[in-house]
Amino acid sequence: MNNFLFENGTKAIFGKGCVREYLACFLRNYGDTVMLAYGGGSIKKNGIYDEILGILKTEERNIVEFDGIMANPTYDKVLEGAKLAKENHVDIILAVGGGSVMDCCKAVSLAARYEGDVWDNFWAKPGIIDFEPLPLGVVVTVAGTGSEMNGGAVITNEKRKIKTGRDYPICNPKLALLDPEYTYSVPVKQMVSSGFDTLSHIMEIYFSEPDEPNVSDDIAEALMRGVIRDLRSAIKNPQDYTARSNLMWEATMAENRIIKLGKRTDFECHMMEHQLGAYTNCNHGEGLAVLHPVYYRHICKSGASKFARYAKEVWSIPETGKSETELAYAGVEALADFIREIGLPTTLRELGMTEETDLKRIADSCACVQGAYKIMNNEEILEIFRECF
């Protein structure tokens, strides 16, 4: 394995009733004013909002609400939250929701303690954070992004048409509360797209050097088999606690940095989808589902040994009678079949794009990562977009 340094500053508490049992104790470590952050209001319909508000009131906390965080959080929304936090002298942010809410609040935690331009200094390029961000705790209600145990935040700058992410360990939440029952009210379509985002994260790490046997790849294979199994089970029965709890922890394991140890990582597919999202605001998991099989057909031959291993270890495809390259491509087609099986879109048209969508402009805006088996250029990215159309 390659050399690595590992750290994770988040305490994760997992299981039924963990919010009721632990949230109050956590808040006692901080001041009186809590910013309660959430998205479009679904937590008010499923009872989560009332439960958390009741805990905050019992603890006699001053509550500042920051709502309306969108699926692809914007830099303007980050600035809105930072302004609210500064004006109300917020002591801690409590983010309740999925990846978008958590990502937005990580950026708010920086912006609330910084006087400069957070985008230019920390998102447009990597920055050095020499100050303490506003403390952040998270309550996860949608499993998929794994944002609860890392410092990563994906933010869209609408004016510049750039959607990008940075991972600063100092921005890790102090506490992540993961109650699988909190995910029950998530619509099946959203659960599936979020679950595919988890699978995508694992594949983007897995399909990169080193190729010799290593612990990170062994764990990744087990996680991929688990996501596939648990998505199938949860689609059949959305109230299957075993499946929903597994999906929640698989999402966390995909992005708590453990399976990245010693790996180069790829994430070109995420870079492409981010820019599609920046221009069209498409659903992240669905965009990844459209892109992955086509992208992997482009790079499969360059990473044939790993793709062949993926076919055997994840999809249980027998190697008898197949060359390494044939086995590798069979694994990619098994992924494409699974995407269709779970009802995710397979074309950009299904995501609402039309002949008027400027795919060349979007392709030209995509970053070309260096960790992939085959380094893309913007012309080949455009080819991929057109094949996906």
DSSP per residue, 288-326: HHHHHHHHHHHHGGGGHHHHHHHHHHTT----TT--HHH
pTM of the predicted model, to two decimals? Answer: 0.95
Length of the chain measured in residues: 389
The residue type of 265 is: T
Sign of CA dihedral 181, 182, 186, 192: negative
The pLDDT score that the predictor gives to residue 297 is 98
Mean pLDDT by 10 residues, the chain (389 residues): 89 97 96 96 92 96 97 96 98 97 98 95 95 98 96 95 94 97 94 97 97 96 98 97 98 97 96 95 96 98 97 97 97 98 97 95 95 96 97
Residues near 71 by beta carbon (within 8 Å), at least 6 away in sequence: 39, 100, 281, 283, 284
User: What structural domains and CATH numbers belong to the chain?
Assistant: 11-183 (3.40.50.1970), 188-388 (1.20.1090.10)
Surface-to-core class of residue 137, CB atoms within 10 Å of its CB (0-12 exposed, 13-18 middle, 19+ buried) = buried
> Nearest Cα to 204, choosing from 13, 371, 7?
371
Residues near 349 by beta carbon (within 8 Å), at least 6 away in sequence: 389
Sign of CA dihedral 296, 298, 304, 308: positive
The residue type of 77 is: K
The pLDDT score that the predictor gives to residue 41 is 81
Nearest-5° Cα angle at 24, 21 to 30: 145
Give the 3-state secondary structure of residue 330: helix
The pLDDT score that the predictor gives to residue 200 is 98
**Strand pairing partners for 64?**
35
**359 is written with which tokens?**
């795919």
Reduce the secondary structure of 102-133 to three states and give it as a string. Answer: HHHHHHHHHHCCCCCCHHHHHHCCCCCCCCCC
**243 is written with which tokens?**
């499946």
Strands 162-167 and 152-157 turn out to be antiparallel
